[in-house]
Every structure is written in structure tokens, then in C-alpha cells.
Amino acid sequence: MKSIFRHVALIGKYHANVSRDQSGLLRRVVEDISHFLSDQGCEVVIEKETADNASLNGYNVMDVPTIGKHCDLGLVVGGDGTMLGIGRQLAPFGVPLIGINQGRLGFITDIPFDHYRTALTPMLRGEYEEDVRSLMHARVMRDGHCVFDALAMNDVVVNRGAISGMVELRVEVDGRFVANQRADGLIISTPTGATAYSLSAGGPLLHPSIPGWILVPIAPHTLSNRPIVLSDQTEVAIEIVAGRDASANFDMQSLASLLHGDRISVRRSKHSVRFLHPKGWSYFDTLRKKLHWNEGGS
């Protein structure tokens, strides 16, 4: 039985200045997967920057928006950071994604490269688990005008400057005042981001099926200022009251410099990211492996 996915895009981890060794490794990996997909009856395209950085010639090459319009599956080779970047871009098109990890298994790139043939063969025939993750839509407002607009799959983080003291932030939920918080910063996390920066700052794990967000202060001045779980149907607004050189990060991959009076507005995006996992995949299996549960003597 051949693949139910006709047009498959290959997207690899790439850097602006890759070394010859990195380029060669990426090229070998992408070519290997491409040949496998062709044998399964798929028409393969390579994402443009992946092809450029891996010096791949003779393939059908598309940029990300074109992939979104013409492909029915994306195979992402890299880590969670690679998947976050491409997931945000392809979310408006509804293209499902499968993650193949060359290094340590990620939370959302969970198929090891050494076993990708075994994992992908039944998945391409339609035997998979689908995992839909929500996105946040964030805007930075200044004097009533939007000066920055971004999607985030993990989190929106407001941080103090590198050499400055705490920032003071006014927090509102659905237009209702919550508190003025003095801290090193504040994290608004999706369930996907619960295992990222939010976790290291003391936030709880949140199952991906829960339609919620986590609001987590970073090193708060008042120790009673604790993380809180909110509905993702709310709109959260953060205003910069005091503090120098504050910034807002979106999945730690895009950055906006902030001024006093700027407001960061966060609401649920109308777009979601679709991940496909091998049959039998479980969120708890991933947690157990990544967080090293059940290890050590009792």
C-alpha cells in the first residue's frame, strides 16, 4: 500500500552560515529521506532554504508559503526549535507535520532518525495519532498603534534588560486589572510551552488537550506572586510600567524592544498546528523519557 500523502515537503534544520560538514550531513540526511519517500509513492519537494544550505540540486524546491498551498504533509528534520519555526509558518495552511530528530528526542520532534523508516512506513499509510496544538497571537501596541505582530507556539515572554533591575508590569485579563508585578519578567505559556521556559521558572505541566494558558512570573519580588492557569479564551494584556531595556520574546525566536507604556496583547490564534505521531504515541511517554521519570533507585 502506497502513501496516502501525495505531496510531501522536507524541511531541515539550517543556519545562515553552515559549515561544510553541517551542509554535507544535512544533504545526506535529506537525500536519504527523499529516496525513501519516493519509494513510498510520494512526490517530494525540498524547502528552499534547506536546499540552498545543503547544496541540493535536481529537486523540486518551494518556499514555505508555496509548500503550504501545495503539500499535504511536512517532514521536519531537526529539533524542537526547527519545528516551532516552521509550525508557526505552516499553521495558517493546516499542513500536518512529522518531526524527525537527529539528536536528542524533543517534545514535539519525537521520531529518531535511526528509526524513521520503521516509524514512517505505517504513518504514511494513515496509521498515526494526530495531536493539535494551539497558537497565541501577540501584538505590541504603542500609542494606539501595533508596532509588532507575531504568533507563538510555546510562549510570549516579557523580560527585563540584561543589565537593568526588575521591571514593573501591569497585568490585565479580559480588561480586568489583576496586579502590578515587579519581577525579572513574565511568561505567558501554552500547554506546548509548559515544558519549556515556563517549567524552569516554576510553572506547572499542562496537558495539551486543556484549553488553557499559564501565567508565570520570573523571579518575582513578592514570593506570593505564583503561577496561575487561565482559560485560553481570555485576552491577556501586559503594560510596561517601569524598568529599562525591557523586551518581548515570541518562542525565543523573534524579539521586540519595549518602551514605557507599551502594551503586549495576547489572545488565542485562529490557527493551530497539527502534529502526527506514530500509532500508540502518548504525551506521558514523552514526559517520562524527557524528564527522566522512573529513573534511580527507590
Which residue in 38, 47, 52, 58 sits closest to 82, CA to CA? 47
Residue 103, CB-side half-sphere exposure with 13 Å CA sphere: 11
Catalytic choice (80, 110, 232, 251): 80
The Cα 59–Cα 38 span in angstroms is 12
The Cα 87–Cα 22 span in angstroms is 23
- Classify residue 252 as left (phi > 0), alpha (psi -120 to 50) or beta: left
Beta strands in the chain (DSSP E): 7-12, 43-47, 60-62, 73-77, 97-101, 111-112, 128-142, 145-152, 155-159, 167-173, 176-183, 185-189, 212-218, 228-231, 236-242, 247-250, 254-257, 263-278
Which residue in 158, 163, 155, 135 sits closest to 269, CA to CA? 135
- Other residues' Cβ atoms within 10 Å of the Cβ of residue 154: 31
CA-based end-to-end distance of the chain: 48
DSSP code of 205? P
Phi, psi of 155 (to 5 degrees): -165, 160
- Other residues' Cβ atoms within 10 Å of the Cβ of residue 208: 17
**Does the annotation count 80 as an active-site position?**
yes
Cell of 106: 524533543
Catalytic residues: 80
